[in-house]
């Protein structure tokens, strides 16, 4: 189990390095990072993705509602004008597993994506942007999740 996880992490990290160096064809989709999706904390996701410690940055524009009427569907959006951003990952700190999704951008798309996530409870949500040169930036929003009506 441990070995497989290490191997996956290593291969993801190698893939990221290679992609950054322009060696991999732009659209070889990385193998599904099961370890990252099983990680239960921001730190563990960072480790599993094989990336540097994220640094907060105002260059990542992250939109999320202050209050979600229902945690089942929370609309979020992240974009950046920074060049060189290869992937954006969305993390929900208090979810049972922290990583919600990862988007990989080729040069043929804008580094901008809207999606919808599930939140188990009120939590910090992070948009983590990974650049080709290895730099990792993030923006975060505090989203309150409510439950409506007379019992769901």
Partner 1 sequence: MTQARSLIAAACLAAAGAVQAQTSTADGIAQYRALLADGNPAELWEIKGEGLWKQRRGPRNASLEACDLGKGPGVVPGAFVELPRFFADTRRVQDLESRLLSCMQALQGFDAAAIAATPFGRGEQANLEALVAYIAAASRGLRFNLPQGHAEERKMAEVGKRVFFFRAGPYDFACASCHDAAGKRIRLQELPNLTLNPGDGVGFAAWPAYRVSSGELWTMQRRLNDCYRQQRFPYPGYASDASIALGVYMGVQARGAVSSAPSIKR
Partner 2 sequence: MSDPMRIRAQAQGGGAVVRVLMSHEMETGQRKDAAGKTIPAWHITEVSAALNGKTVLTAQWGTAIAKNPFTEFVVKGAKAGDKITVSWVDNRGDKRSDEAVIA
**Least CB distance to partner 1 at residue 76 (A):** 8
Is position 78 an interface residue for partner 2 (rule: CB under 8 A)? no
100 in contact with partner 2 (CB under 8 A): yes
Q: Which residue has the tokens 């441990």?
A: 2
Backbone angles phi, psi at 111, to 5 degrees: -85, 80
- Measured CA to CA, the distance from residue 83 to residue 95 in angstroms comes to 31
CB of 47 to partner 1, least distance (A): 20
Comparison of 35 and 68: residue with beta carbon closer to partner 1: 68
Q: Which residue's CB is nearer to partner 1, number 33 or number 123?
A: 123
Nearest to 46 by CA among 7, 106, 91: 91
* Span of 13-21, 52-60, 93-101, 144-152 interacting with partner 2 by CB under 8 A: 93-101
Rounded CA gap, 36 and 56, in Å?
A: 21
User: Are the C-beta atoms of 68 and 145 separated by less than 8 Å?
Assistant: yes
Residues in contact with partner 2 by the rule CB under 8 A: 27, 29-30, 32-33, 37, 72-75, 77, 92, 95-97, 99-110, 112-120
């Amino acid at each position: 189990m441990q070995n497989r996880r290490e191997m996956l992490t290593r291969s993801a990290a190698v893939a990221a390095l290679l992609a950054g160096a322009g060696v991999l064809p732009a659209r070889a989709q990385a193998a599904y990072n099961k370890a990252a999706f099983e990680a239960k904390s921001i730190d563990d996701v960072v480790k599993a993705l094989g990336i540097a410690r994220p640094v907060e940055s105002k260059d990542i524009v992250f939109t999320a509602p202050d209050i979600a009427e229902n945690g089942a569907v929370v609309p979020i959006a992240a974009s950046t004008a920074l060049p060189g951003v290869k992937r954006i990952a969305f993390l929900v700190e208090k979810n049972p597993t922290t990583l919600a999704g990862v988007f990989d951008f080729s040069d043929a798309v804008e580094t901008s994506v809207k999606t919808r996530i599930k939140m188990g409870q009120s939590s910090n949500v992070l948009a983590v942007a990974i650049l080709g040169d290895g730099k990792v930036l993030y923006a975060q929003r505090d989203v309150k999740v409510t439950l409506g009506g007379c019992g769901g």
